Amino acid sequence: MDFGTHWQVYVTMPFIAALIGYVTKRVAIEMMFRPLEFVGVKPFGWQGVLPANAERMAATATEMLTTNLVDPKEIFARLDPAQVAKEIEQPLLRVVEDVTREVMETYQPRLWEVLPNGAQQLLLKRVQAEAPKAITKIMREIADNIEDVLDLKHMVVTNLVRDKALLNRLIRDISRPEMRFIARSGIWFGFVLGCVQLVVWALTKSPIVLPLFGLGIGWFTDWLALKMIFLPREPKRFFGLYTWQGIFQKRRDQVAADYGDMIAREIITIPNLLEAVLRGPKSDKLFAMITREVQKTIDAQASVVKPFVAIAVGTKKFQEMKQTAAAKAAERVPETIRYAENYAINALDVRNTIVDRMRKLTALEFEQLLRPAFRQDEWKLIAVGAVIGGLVGELQVLALLG
């Protein structure tokens, strides 16, 4: 086959190689994230690299987050307990009245109604007056002992493993420019290698050339693109002509802003923190803490109505009523705390804390934000690129020799 007769075939070779480079990159990128769940019949099938390793990926991301970026004790120390009590004062007063009436009516129907109105109001006002002080003490104790009631690592890992789409977004959203670079680099790398492929084919006419080059283009361009994302970590001049720095490292400020936004918006949120505190592995300690403080408040104020209630229900029953009131109040306090959410978001300032800390990370520490998503399984992505490239090369041979 000579160039003059089949020049169209020769001319298309670099462009087909560029297409191979691009397609293999797009496939590799999609295989990182999709599908969320395993598709196929094991062992034949596929699940996105990140979703398939959700627990390991989540643990790695959480280790970075809790070791280098967020200190729960420091964060919660920013809450002013008195301000929290002020933010929730009105709903808290309603809770006090609701719990008081509910307990009284449960243990002695109509007893509350027959109590002198002055006694009713005196008890309510005294307990309501003490409630903000109790909340202030509870919040101060929580802030001082946050690690006793909140397992931040457990919270983050649980949320990321439970929501694989969120884990995907965490990696994909902060690395969109890197993903675009990988895909587009395949075009240019592939085109250059395609020119070499053209020359080799013209000289040899060997059927093995095109599949081998296709395989090599798929493998080499995937490998090189992944390396260029992270390396070199610091700007480096090559051949005295141009300077290159891994594009992820180069985008440190923007990555920090995007990562901080996402963590504060979707992971370390007030609802998630409350969920972790109320239903996490350490929740029993929180409720014990709240119940203890509420019990103290009730004990301090119950003397007002004790003469009336103790006579009606008996001393033993009266003690049981106090315990029930403390338990019910402890259950309602957490939902009341939600009214302080806007204040807490601004006070905790999770987003800016993460951004500031990220910008102070070393280049190697910074790389660990994204690198684990690629490292362990990147050989699979490179291998897929090589196989696709080889198959396309074989199709070229069939087209040329058919």
Residue 2 lies in a domain: no
- List the chain residues with pLDDT less than 70: 1-7, 9, 100-101, 103-116, 119-120, 122-124, 126-128, 294-295, 297-319, 321-322, 326, 330, 333-334, 372-378, 380-381, 396-397, 399-402
The Cα 324–Cα 337 span in angstroms is 21
Q: Is the sign of the CA dihedral 44, 46, 50, 51 positive or negative?
A: negative
Residue 1 forms part of a structural domain: no
Q: Is 209 helix (H, G, I), strand (E, B) or coil?
A: helix
Split into its structural domains, the chain has a count of 1
pLDDT of residue 316: 64
pLDDT digit string (tens) for 298-342? 666 555 555 555 555 555 666 676 677 767 776 776 677 777 778
Q: Helix (H, G, I), strand (E, B), or coil: what is residue 35?
A: coil
Asked whether residue 259 is domain-assigned, the answer is yes
Count of CA atoms in the C-beta half-sphere (13 A) of 392: 26
In sequence order, what DSSP letters do the residues of 265-329 get, joined into one string? IIIS-HHHHHHHHHHSTTHHHHHHHHHHHHHHHHHHHGGGTHHHHHHHH-HHHHHHHHHHHHHHH
User: In degrees rounded to 5, what are phi and psi of residue 39?
Assistant: -120, 125
Q: Are 123 and 305 in contact (CB under 8 A)?
A: yes
Return the exposure string of 294-319: e unless at least 16 CB atoms fall within 10 Å of the residue's CB, then b: bbebbeebbebbeebbbeebeeeebe
Would 331 be classed as within a structural domain? yes
Residue 288 lies in a domain: yes
Range of the domain at 198: 7-401
Question: Which pLDDT belongs to residue 1?
Answer: 46
Q: How many residues does the chain have?
A: 402
Outline where DSSP puts E strands in 185-256.
236-238, 242-244
72-100 confidence digits (pLDDT tens):
888 888 888 788 777 777 777 777 777 76
313 part of a folded domain: yes
Report if pTM > 0.75: no
Q: Give 40's strand partners.
A: 45
Residue 210 falls inside a structural domain: yes
